[in-house]
Amino acid sequence: MPKVSVITPTYNRAHLISQSIQSVLNQTFSDFEIIIVDDGSTDNTREVLDSFKDPRIKYTWQENGGPSVARNTGIKASSGDYIVFLDSDDVLVRNALEKGVRVLDAHPEVGFSYGQAYLMDERGRVFGFRKHRDRGSHILNGIEEIRKAIVNGNHIPTSTIMARRSCLEEVGTFDDAFRYGSEDFDLLVRLARLHSVAYIAEPLIKYRVHIASISCGRRLAEMERSIRFLLERIFNDPELSLLFSSERPDAYLHMNLRLSDCAYGTRQMRISRRYLFQAAKVQPGWFFKRLWLPLIIRLCKTWLPLKALDLAHKAKRFVRITAFAYILKPQVPPATGDTLRFVDDEIYDGVEKNSCK
């Protein structure tokens, strides 16, 4: 039996999935199997997969059921001691499996490991980096990881996770009640409440950011229901509610900030404003103390005409200033430009960390 099972659910990603598969085949660690779960694709995904002749690749097709159902199908078909959930548009860094196996082998108390991620565009060009933590690699208290995720949102890239099979069997697999997000957060909460967590302070994947991966667009209402359902499950749990009752306002603050940012990213400006106002209502003191400047600028930008906003975003490729400030005053002296770039960084550090994953 293989040591590691890499489970990749896919839906109509024939143009990308070969890159994901090849990144697994190129790993420095070779004792693995790849379980491809085709979740009802209607494109030529099967033909693309047929071009790979490696016997470690297994393919199964099912009617479309969503990510949770597809991942659970993959878990049932797998046989590895450790399980990786690689999205079909993401790419593993060459030594990702080796690093995860090394950590789980050395720390039997750990239920799962996770790491950092590069950000890449639709063409595979790396344009950013998300490290999630300031400290180096270390073993984390599972309960504190849950607390951090409740307050700041789930910060763990799913494709970096390597979970111990025995722990999954203990807590159960993905809950298919979550169809539009939060299913990974729900599983990680169940794992972390019983086991330690390992953080690997190195990039393990290249996370692809493209229109299809921003799951906010037309599903904001479903996303909100999923997040609320998960938070209520946590706060209604007899044990977890005692530990995290004081985090409830922060949890709903972050939920509204995230949904506002999702709406903003998909040009639903009125909805973005509504979620911003709800965030201010939930935690007015924290909101205005910590985020007043970047979010007021964000709020002003939601009233800009879309054509003006497009022009501003194009300008930002060359000059790092806020879209709102650029449109008001495109010719700025160097000192003012430095100030605006600082404001721009504040916006992206303070707001975009709450964007959809």
Poorest-confidence range of 45-59, 77-91, 131-145, 207-221? 207-221
Query: Does 127 share its domain with 248?
Result: no
Poorest-confidence range of 57-71, 83-97, 156-170, 263-277? 263-277
**pTM passes above 0.85:** no
Contacts of residues 324-332 at CB distance under 8 Å and 24 or more positions apart, as own/partner, are 324/297, 324/300, 325/297
CA proximity to 157, closest of 190, 132, 125: 132
CB 315 within 8 A of CB 341: no
Query: Does 16 share its domain with 154?
Result: yes
pLDDT of residue 121: 85
Query: Does 177 share its domain with 235?
Result: no
Report the percent of the chain where pLDDT is more than 70: 75
CB 184 within 8 A of CB 83: no
Q: How confident is the model at residue 210 (pLDDT cuts 50, 70, 90)?
A: low
Query: Does 66 share its domain with 185?
Result: yes
Q: How confident is the model at residue 313 (pLDDT cuts 50, 70, 90)?
A: low
Query: Domain span at residue 250?
Result: 220-354
Instruction: State the helix-helix crossing angle for 269-282 and 292-301, rounded to 10 degrees.
Output: 160
CB 294 within 8 A of CB 346: yes
Query: Does 150 share its domain with 40?
Result: yes
Of 198, 213, 228, the position where a domain reaches its end is 213
Query: Does 286 share its domain with 350?
Result: yes
Instruction: State the helix-helix crossing angle for 248-265 and 292-301, rounded to 10 degrees.
Output: 30
The domain total for the chain is 2
pLDDT of residue 351: 37
Paired tokens of 173:
């697999």
> Above 90 in pLDDT, residue 176?
no
- Give the separation between CA 296 and CA 325, rounded to whole angstroms: 12
Question: Which amino acid type is present at position 184?
Answer: D
Average pLDDT, the chain: 82
Query: Does 291 share its domain with 201?
Result: no
Poorest-confidence range of 111-120, 199-208, 212-221? 212-221
Using CA atoms, how far residue 173 sits from 7, 73, 76, 229, in Å, is: 13, 10, 10, 17
Strands 4-10 and 82-85: parallel
Query: Does 62 share its domain with 197?
Result: yes
Query: Does 192 share its domain with 294?
Result: no
pLDDT of residue 296: 61
Q: E-assigned strands of the chain?
A: 4-10, 32-38, 57-61, 82-85, 91-92, 110-120, 126-130, 138-140, 162-164, 196-208
Instruction: State the helix-helix crossing angle for 248-265 and 269-282, rounded to 10 degrees.
Output: 170
Q: Which is more confidently placed, 87 or 129?
A: 87
For the stretch 103-161, pLDDT in tens is 999 999 999 999 999 999 888 888 888 766 556 788 999 999 999 888 877 889 999 99
Of 188, 213, 238, the position where a domain reaches its end is 213
- Give the separation between CA 272 and CA 1, rounded to whole angstroms: 49
* Span 300-321, average pLDDT: 52
Query: Does 280 share its domain with 144?
Result: no
pLDDT of residue 190: 96
Rounded to 10 degrees, what is the CA torsion of 166, 167, 172, 177? Answer: -130
Residue count (the chain): 357
Q: Name the β-bridge partners of 47.
A: none
Q: E-assigned strands of 145-262?
A: 162-164, 196-208
Query: Does 199 share its domain with 241?
Result: no
CATH code, 155: 3.90.550.10
Of 197, 213, 229, the position where a domain reaches its end is 213
Strands 126-130 and 82-85: unpaired
Question: Which amino acid type is present at position 228?
Answer: R
Instruction: With residue 280 as reference, give the H or E element that holds it.
Output: helix 269-282
> Above 70 in pLDDT, residue 251?
yes
pLDDT of residue 348: 40
Using CA atoms, how far residue 236 sits from 175, 185, 233, 239, 282, in Å, is: 17, 16, 5, 9, 19
> Above 60 in pLDDT, residue 233?
yes
* Span 270-282, average pLDDT: 85
Question: Which amino acid type is present at position 169?
Answer: E
Using CA atoms, how far residue 103 sits from 139, 141, 156, in Å, is: 9, 15, 17
pLDDT of residue 293: 55
Query: Does 154 share its domain with 227?
Result: no
CA proximity to 64, closest of 7, 10, 8, 18: 10
pLDDT of residue 301: 62
CA proximity to 295, closest of 240, 241, 256: 256
